Amino acid sequence: MEQDVESPAVTTRKPKLPKQAREALPEQLVDQVRAKRKIQRYVRKDGKCNVHHGNVQETYRYLTDIFTTLVDLKWRFNLFIFVLVYTVTWLLFGFAWWLIAYVRGDLEHIGDNQWTPCVNNLNGFVSAFLFSIETETTIGYGYRVITDQCPEGILLLLIQSVLGSIVNAFMVGCMFVKISQPKKRAETLVFSTSAVISVRDGRLCLMFRVGDLRNSHIVEASIRAKLIKSKQTKEGEFIPLNQTDMNVGYDTGDDRLFLVSPLIICHEINQNSPFWEVSQADLDKEDLEIVVILEGMVEATGMTCQARSSYVTSEIKWGYRFMPVLTLEDGFYEVDYNSFHDIHETNTPSCSARELAEMNCRARLPLTWSVASKLSQQGVLEPEGREKKSTTTLVTQEEGLEEQTERNGDIANIESESKV
């Protein structure tokens, strides 16, 4: 069998560029380096959270909720504990039965028909272990039987029966919950591999698609979306992986889904959206992640199921839409899941949603208002203001003259009266 042998590579040290040359590198190279950088996800595409808990000192808290701890264990550990618990229980009670026979002296009177043992046909530890298994599992072959001349054996039989029932309920319950967990149901809930940004009804919207591959539906399905992005407050505090809610129809009820066929979830980029002032150029430079969460109850079992996925910056396509997947056939609708992830390019402005809203607002302004504003800006309406100001000044002067004339007339009347 031939094997490829790698030849030792000769490493040549590249000359270090001077500082001026490094600063003069084109921005395209910087963008390429950023694109090749490994993306650190908060939530992976399969829905698993990429977070590991370390330095947990209060490990006793896991034992306080031992049932959940056993359910959360991996299958190999769960099966090992399942077998171990039953084996240890059988061994302990088998040793107890052997100890009773040893203390009573039953092992010394094996084959003596005049002696009444605690358990018939118990002649050693192996037979005591088999009797323990028969008692706890309620098999009862009928060969080894407890007698009524052994009160300590009757008490041990009661204890083993009760504790055996508790062990059966606990371990079988753990296995049942482990098997019936709805995690595998989330495998048939699919999300589109990319999210898109395009114009819908005159407004920029961020959209992604969800679908259910099974014929049994998710009851009371609801969708949520969160923006994961580090931020720094005005006071200088750095908040890593800050979570911001994204409205996907909470106000209108569109977040509650009837997931019979694939649906496109839409987030309108408005004043309350974190993407309000983000343009296409700004989006390429952002380091963010959008986590989407689909929740609902499994129709067959009634248990709550949750499916998760995420979209990083490179998976958000600006200026694209999803291809239609639903077609009308003869008497039914057919979903083509081959086109579930397909997108096509569409005309979309590269500006931010705020700039687009301002442009639409200016386009809807009345012509008279716009002309008047233009004239006022250019100073054409200033003469009219001056005429108004001069008219006001003349009226004020005339009113002052009339008041002065009235005062002069009053003074003249007073002087004539004093002379008389």
- C-alpha 248/C-alpha 41 separation (Å) is 22
Q: Are residues 266 and 292 in the same domain?
A: yes
The pair of structure tokens assigned to 180 is 């019936």
Residue where one domain finishes, among candidates 360, 386, 401: 360
CA distance 291 to 246: 10
Tell which residue, 106, 170, 159, has the closest CA to residue 136: 159
Which parts of the chain register pLDDT below 50? 1-27, 29-33, 35-36, 367-372, 374-375, 377, 380-398, 401, 405-408, 410-420
One domain, residues 221 and 247: yes
User: 3-state class of 340 per DSSP?
Assistant: coil
- The whole-number pLDDT of residue 403 equals 52
Residue 38: what pLDDT? 61
Do residues 228 and 355 share a domain? yes
Question: What phi and psi, each to the nearest 5 degrees, are found at residue 278?
Answer: -100, 125
Are 89 and 167 a contacting pair, CB within 8 Å? yes
206 and 355: one domain? yes
Domain boundary among 181, 209, 240: 181
379 belongs to a structural domain: no
Give yes or no: residues 176 and 257 share one domain: no
Give me the CATH number covering residue 334.
2.60.40.1400
**Residues 334, 337, 342, CA angle at the centre, nearest 5°?**
120
pLDDT per residue as tens digits for the range 352-377: 999 998 988 888 766 444 444 544 54
Predicted confidence at residue 108, as pLDDT, reads: 86
Query: Does residue 174 sit in the same domain as residue 200?
Result: no
* Residue written as token pair 């689909």: 294
Asked if the structure places residue 197 within a domain, the reply is yes
Strand partners, 290: 227, 311
Does any domain span residue 296? Answer: yes
Residues 353 and 364: their CA atoms lie apart, in Å, by: 17
Strands 316-318 and 195-200: parallel
Listed in sequence order, the residues at least 6 apart from 36 whose beta carbon sits closer than 8 Å to its beta carbon are none
Tokens 């504990």 sit at which residue? 81
Question: Does residue 409 lie within any of the structural domains?
Answer: no
Residue 94 lies in a domain: yes
Report H helices in 266-381: 280-285, 353-363, 367-378
| Residue 92 and residue 146 share a domain | yes
**pTM for this structure?**
0.66
- Domain that residue 205 falls in: 185-360
How far apart, in whole angstroms, are the C-alpha atoms of residue 420 and residue 418? 5
- Whether residue 162 sits in one domain with residue 254: no
Listed residues 360, 377, 403: the one ending a domain: 360
CA–CA dist 207, 249 (Å, integer): 12
Same domain, 91 and 121: yes
Residue 95 per-residue DSSP state: H
Domain count, the chain: 2
**Same structural domain for residues 144 and 282?**
no
All residues at 6 or more sequence positions from 324 whose CB lies less than 8 Å from its CB, including other chains? 339
* Inter-residue contact 158 to 136 (CB < 8 Å): no
Residues 254, 276, single domain; the answer is yes
Return the pLDDT at 366. 63
pLDDT of residue 376: 53
Is 400 a domain residue? no
Are 219 and 241 in the same domain? Answer: yes
Task: Summarize pLDDT for 124-161 with one digit per residue, the tens.
Answer: 999 999 999 999 988 878 888 888 889 999 999 999 99
Token couple for 255: 């977040």
In a domain, 329, yes or no: yes
pLDDT at 367: 47
Q: Residue 131's closest CA among 147, 110, 115, 151?
A: 147
Please give the sequence-ordered ranges of beta strands (E in DSSP) within 184-340, or none if there are none: 189-191, 195-200, 203-212, 218-232, 238-246, 256-257, 263-268, 289-298, 304-312, 316-318, 320-322, 326-328, 333-335
CATH code assigned at 168: 1.10.287.70
Three-class DSSP category at 221: strand
Residue 338 falls within a domain, yes or no? yes
Contact, 113 vs 86, CB < 8 A?
no
Name the CA radius of gyration of the chain, rounded: 42
Contact 318, 348 (CB under 8 A): yes
